Structure 1
Amino acid sequence: MQVTETLNEGLKRAYQMMLTAQELDDKVNAKLAEAQPEIEMKGFRKGKVPMPLLKKQFGQRLLGEAMQEAIDEAMGAHFESTGDKPAAQPKIEMKNGEEWKEGDDVEVEMSYEALPEIPEVDLKSISLEKMVVKADDAGVEEALGNLAETAQDFKARRKGSKAKDGDQVVMDFVGKVDGEAFEGGSAEDFPLVLGSNQFIPGFEEQLVGVKAEEEKDVTVTFPEEYQAEHLAGKEAVFSCTIKEVKEPVAAEVNDELAQKFGAEDLDALKGQISERLEAEYAGAARALMKRALLDELDKMVSFELPPSLVEAEAGQIAHQLWHDDNPDVQGHDHGEIEPTDEHKTLAERRVRLGLLLAELGQKAEVEVTDAEMTQAIMNQARQYPGQEREFFEFVQQNAQMQQQMRAPIFEDKVIDYVFELAQVSEKEVAKADLEKALESLEDE
């Protein structure tokens, strides 16, 4: 196939590829010859069907396949000889497609944007500061207090006290629709925390103010979409007998609390909390150091960017920020969102750093392992309780989804690789200093 360059401006490339009728015919004949030994046809022994008859029978349907193979081979040879790497899938257009007929040459135009040459970066010259925060007694005690609140218990209020939102009401109740008790609508000694939204809307609010030994009828209407169809949309009356009204109390911070959370005693729980806090601080410090690294890399490199990548990234940024400001609008149910100059500037930074990190990772032979991908899929699958297996299978069958999940893992591994080469100094700071630095990062 003859290939002629028609455009070479910046990163834009275009080529005209000519596949002669004879080359196409030879490819079809080669395919028929390859298949001939296995073809059976009435009146002929297996493998003995004459080529002219095979061509008449199957030649037409092999034309498209042969044409595509020839184009793919020409593209592969072109990229191997030029060293070009397309920024996206090349655009292929058959110039004489509407007029083409069997026996004509095939004229194809291939166009693409080439990835730029990425300049070398002296990673060892980069200086970074890593904030180190130690877990202090105040932080551990604050975390213990939060745990005690989550492990709260309830104690009986003084006799005659009215139930408040957040209190626990222990009661017997019988629910009736049209005067008839229904299955699942009754219970004894049922503990209900008011405000927990455990019952259907309107139920718990009507129990605010009740007292122990009081009887109260609660009238509610089941939602139209209620799972039990025979109750959906129906009005029900629950006759409630209040046995106790209890107020919430935080659990005591002692060995018993520690054992509730799987620790041997209080000291062991404090140790676990201290480790968890320092891991959280380290994660926040890494995020700050990563941002500082990306800022440094952005200053160190400059190269031409594929316009299509910048345009696509700017569009995604504009779309995401618009949805952040309009959270009630789902999907693409809105007009066109035009990227601003600010969006384009941010897009240029992201594309530039993305290409640089990809180049660094390739040269360092950074790879995402199957085990890392499996762990990432499992972590995300937990967001879909009861559908973990379906999510796992969906990802396995969706190459685009796999790439979306692989990309951040790859980037973090490249970042860690650069951290190892850069000059990193540690600075011990207070938790407040770390938090202030994070707030500054979020405000940018």
Structure 2
Amino acid sequence: MIKNKETELLENSSVRLTITVAEEAIRKEYDELLSEYCRNVRMDGFRKGKVPPAILLRKYGEVILGETAEKVVQKSLQQALEGGEHKPIATSVPTVDAADKLELGKEFSYKVTFDTFPKIELPEYKGQEYEELEVEVGEEDLERELKGLQEQNSVVVDKKDPVAAKGDIVNVDYVELEDGGQERTATRRQSFVFEVGSGYNLYRFDEEVAGMKAGEEKSIAKDYPADFEVKELAGRKLSLKVKLNSVKEKQLPEINDELAQDISDKYKSLEDLKKDIREKLAQHASRRVREHSISQLLDKVAAGATIALPKSMLESELEEEFQRFLGRLRAEESVVLRELEKEGRSKQSVQEEWKPAAEKKLRLQLVVSEMVKRENVEATQEELDGRVKADAEARGISFEQAKEIYTKNHLYDYLAFDIKNEKLYDQLLSSAERKKGKKVKLLDLLGGNY
């Protein structure tokens, strides 16, 4: 069908194909369509299938030519992609940029553009240098964990004097207010429960809620810095109406042998519990130090890599991030778009703000994928089974039950992906030059301050 194909490499890993289809192939598609019309079309004065082609063409000629062009493009593009070096990625739909007017007895040419998987040029990624943090796991870390277990085993009761204070469990209704005092319905939450002082609320209004009494309602003003951790609030000034519905307080058990035994039968005393906590903290610290070291190495590789990031890949990532944003707000897209418009913002402007982070994320994913490929890293069946067995033990189910869950939910691919990445990270760390890093506290490391 294809008489000629020319390939033009464009920026951002995009490709444009110029495809020329032979006139004989066009005639074949046209004749098949004309025959189909002759068999099926009904016209006044003629029985079905008995309309003379000349009469049928006077009415449907242009339609048949148009459908012929569509079939020619569909079939020739499929042929070009199947036998070609360049193929569209999942996020890119081939788009016809320009096409000749299809005429019988003549060749037909058109241009089609699509994004391809980017060529990835990596720097030397073995033998890189990194600093390994030295984590101090101290008594304050042990006390914090014990305090957490004490909190988990507390009893929550109504507070006699229902004035909210740090550590109390409160139930609130809240909603954002416009400049005129009207409520922004998309932001309304009712019966939201959190602990005062924990910061476990979107707007971080713990300080404003502290001191309120059950049944009280008030408006509060918030001014968030540009680097605020909740990016949808960063740089914003807003007003909120908050109503305190109820206040409860926690009755904490004593930290002693009895508490340890209540937590698990495997602990005979408080010292047994403390020993187990210290071991788990050390393991946790080791994992976070490893993650920090790997992050340094990957950032260096990504910074030195040459990647022409496809536009459609970036747009797809930004769209997924916007959908996650909607999920966090628990709101319909149309409602959020209206609220953004009131603030002089738009979906496009928000995504533009997110673009640097999205580009970094994709670059890291691509360089890891490329290194896994170059190092021929594979996940063995034994490794897969080992992970599934460990998961089964943690869930308290049999190995066969776990295998069924993994198969039914298509989790083996994700598991293999994780194993291959971890094996690659082992290789990078073993080949890298380790330098002694600074001493840090475990809490700072867990908080992402390093």
| TM-score, structure 2 as length reference | 0.51
Question: Could you tell me which of 347, 366, 369 is aligned with 1:355?
Answer: 366
Q: Is the 8 A contact 1:373 1:406 kept in 2?
A: no
- Counterpart code for 2:365: G
Quote the offset at 1:328 in angstroms: 4.9
Q: Does 1:286 align with 2:295?
A: no
Which residue in 2 is equivalent to 1:275? 279
Q: What letter corresponds to residue 113 of structure 1 in structure 2?
A: D
One of 72, 76, 86 as aligned partner of 2:82? 76
SS of match in other structure, 2:354: helix
User: Could you say which structure has the greater relative contact order, defined with CA pairs below 8 angstroms and 6 or more residues apart?
Assistant: 2
Alignment match of 1:16 (pick from 18, 21, 31)? 18
Contact 2:406 2:412 in 1 (8 A): no
Residues 389 and 257 of structure 1, relative CA distance in 2, 3 Å threshold: same
After TM superposition, give the deviation of residue 4 of structure 1 in Å.
2.0
Q: Who is 2:119 aligned against?
A: 117
What residue in structure 2 maps to residue 365 of structure 1? 376
CA contact (8 A) 2:14 2:114 kept: yes
- Give 1:127 shift: 0.9
Query: Are the counterparts in 1 of residues 8 and 17 from structure 2 also a CA contact under 8 Å?
Result: yes
Q: Distance in 1 between matches of 2:374 and 2:296?
A: 22
Q: Deviations over 1:83-104 (max 9, x none)?
A: x46445461659779x879999
Distance 1:356 1:343 in 2: 20
Q: 1:107 to 1:298 in 2, by over 3 A?
A: same
**What is the distance in 2 between the residues matched to 1:389 and 1:101?**
59
Cα 1:94/1:431, change in 2 over 3 Å: closer
CA contact 2:123–2:305 (8 Å) conserved in 1: yes
- Deviation, structure 1 residue 300: 2.0
- Work out the CA distance in 2 between the residues paired with 1:89 and 1:102: 32
Amino acid at match of 1:440: N
Match of 1:136 among 127, 135, 138: 138
The letter of the residue matching 2:363 is: R
Gaps of 5+ in 2: 30-69, 162-167, 172-189, 192-249, 338-345, 396-401
Q: Deviations over 1:168-205 (max 9, x none)?
A: xxxxxxxxxxxxxxxxxxxxxxxxxx9899xxx99xxx
The 3-state SS of whatever aligns with 1:124 is coil
Any conservation in 1 of the 2:119–2:307 contact (CA below 8 Å)?
A: yes
Paired AA for residue 272 in structure 1: D
Q: Distance in 2 between matches of 1:94 and 1:292?
A: 43
Return the letter of the residue paired with 2:141: G
For residues 18-417 of structure 1, what are the structure 2 equivalents within 5 Å? 18-20=20-22, 71-79=77-85, 84=86, 86-87=88-89, 88-89=91-92, 91=94, 93=96, 109-133=111-135, 135-152=137-154, 164-165=158-159, 248-254=251-257, 257-258=260-261, 260-266=263-269, 267-314=271-318, 316-317=320-321, 319=322, 323=326, 327-331=329-333, 333=335, 334=337, 336-339=347-350, 342-367=353-378, 371=384, 395-396=409-410, 411=421, 413-417=423-427
Q: 1:114 to 1:262 in 2, by over 3 A?
A: same
Matched residues in 2 for 1:404 and 1:127: separation?
30
RMSD: 5.4
Secondary structure in structure 2 of the residue aligned to 1:129: strand
Structure 1 unaligned residues grouped into runs of 5+: 28-63, 155-162, 168-193, 203-246, 383-387
Q: Deviations over 1:234-282 (max 9, x none)?
A: xxxxxxxxxxxxx945145117724641324234322221121122222
Matching residue's letter, 1:2: K
Q: For the residues of structure 1 that align with 2:387 and 2:77, how far apart are their CA atoms?
A: 36
TM-score (norm 1): 0.51
CA contact (8 A) 1:15 1:110 kept: yes
Provide the secondary structure at the position in 2 that maps to 1:14: strand
Q: How far off is 1:438 after superposition? A: 4.1
1:297-334 deviation digits (Å, cap 9, x = unpaired): 233223433233334445555x369659x825345642
Does the alignment pair 1:422 with 2:435?
A: no
- 1:273–1:425 Cα change, 3 Å: same
Alignment pair present for 1:435 and 2:444 = yes
* CA drift at 1:283: 3.1
Instruction: Answer whether contact 1:94 1:106 (CA < 8 A) is retained.
Output: no
CA distance in 2, matches of 1:196, 1:375: 40
Alpha-carbon spacing, 1:338–1:144, altered in 2? closer, same or farther (3 Å)? closer
In structure 2, relative to structure 1, the CA distance for the partners of 1:96 and 1:310 (3 Å cut) is closer
Shift of 1:17: 3.0
Q: Report the secondary structure of 1:355's partner residue.
A: helix
Indicate conservation of the 8 Å contact 1:148/1:252, yes or no.
yes
Q: What is the rounded CA distance, in whole Å, between the counterparts of 1:139 and 1:251 in structure 2?
A: 18
- The reply on whether 1:5 has 2:6 as its aligned counterpart is yes
Query: Against the structure 1 CA distance between its residues 118 and 196, is the aligned structure 2 distance closer, same or farther, given a 3 Å change threshold?
Result: closer
AA paired with 1:7?
E
**AA paired with 2:16?**
A
What CA distance in whole angstroms lies between the structure 1 residues aligned with 2:332 and 2:408?
22
CA distance in structure 1 between the partners assigned to 2:78 and 2:22 by the alignment:
15
Larger Rg: 1
Query: Aligned partner of 2:331: which letter?
Result: V
Q: Could you tell me how far 1:130 is from its partner in structure 2?
A: 2.0
CA contact (8 A) 2:97 2:113 kept: no
